[in-house]
Each structure stands twice: as C-alpha cells, then as structure tokens.
Amino acid sequence: MAQVCGALRDFGVELVSPLLADTCPQARAGAGFDRISFDIDFDTRQARCPQGKTSSSWSPCTQRGTDATVITFDTATCVPCPVGAQCTTAKRARRQLTVPPPELHQAQLAARSAQHSTDWQAR
C-alpha cells in the first residue's frame, strides 16, 4: 500500500491493484467488529468503538519495518460491554487495533471500498 500512496504522491501515477483483506479475527470470520468498524481520529489520537467508547492508549511503534500505531481500549470499558464477544477474543478482554500511518490508513479504507465496485473491477 505504501507503494500505491508513494506512486501517486511522488509521480502522479495511480496504481490499481487489489488490496489484501484485513486479517484480524473478526474480518476473517466475517462477523463482529473489524478495524473498519472503528472511528479513528489521528488528530486527537483517539479511536471510538462501535459502542461509542474511546480508546485508552495510543502507542506509535514499528512493525516489520513499517510505522504503525497500536490503539488499546481499557479492560474496564471492554469487560462489561454487551457486544464484547463480537469485538475481541483477547484473554484480557480488551480490544487492541494496529493501524498504519494516516495516509496509508485512509488509502486502505478507500481501496477496500472501491475494489468491490464493478467499475474498479473492470479497470
């Protein structure tokens, strides 16, 4: 995805390629809340879950040589949640999301949405 963003930004060339699917357990199962279900605000460094609760920590990191952010929701928020089973299978019963930098995150959302259209597939 970084190459797609870089090609457009640096050369004005739009690369069209299918994006790999989200690999979180919820997305793989096709049930529950995957990453797209969360509202992520990079400016305020907050994420909001589908139940309206906000994240408790925002930790920049590097994973496999790529910048990312680990967003965590507090156990006290997640344990009593009535839809917690649709959100996390973690032993500590709290949700954690890992997201790429804002430019890549937005590009992923747009690409995953667009690649299901017949126009995109024809292209």
Residue 6: per-residue pLDDT = 65
Q: What is the pLDDT of residue 68?
A: 94
What is residue 28's predicted lDDT score, i.e. its pLDDT? Answer: 78
Dihedral angle sign, alpha carbons of residues 59, 27, 109, 2: positive
Whether residue 78 contacts residue 93, with contact meaning beta carbons closer than 8 Å, is answered with yes
pLDDT in single tens digits along all 123 residues of the chain = 566 666 667 777 777 777 777 777 787 777 789 888 999 999 999 999 999 999 999 999 998 888 999 999 999 999 999 998 888 888 778 899 999 999 888 888 888 888 888 888 887
CA atoms of 101 and 67, how far apart (whole Å): 7
Q: What secondary structure does DSSP assign to 53-75, as a single string?
A: PBPSEEEEEEETTEEEEEEE--H
pTM of the full structure: 0.78
Q: What is the reported pLDDT for 58?
A: 96
pLDDT at 56: 95
Helix (H, G, I), strand (E, B) or coil at 98: strand
Look at residue 44 in the predicted model and tell me its pLDDT. 96
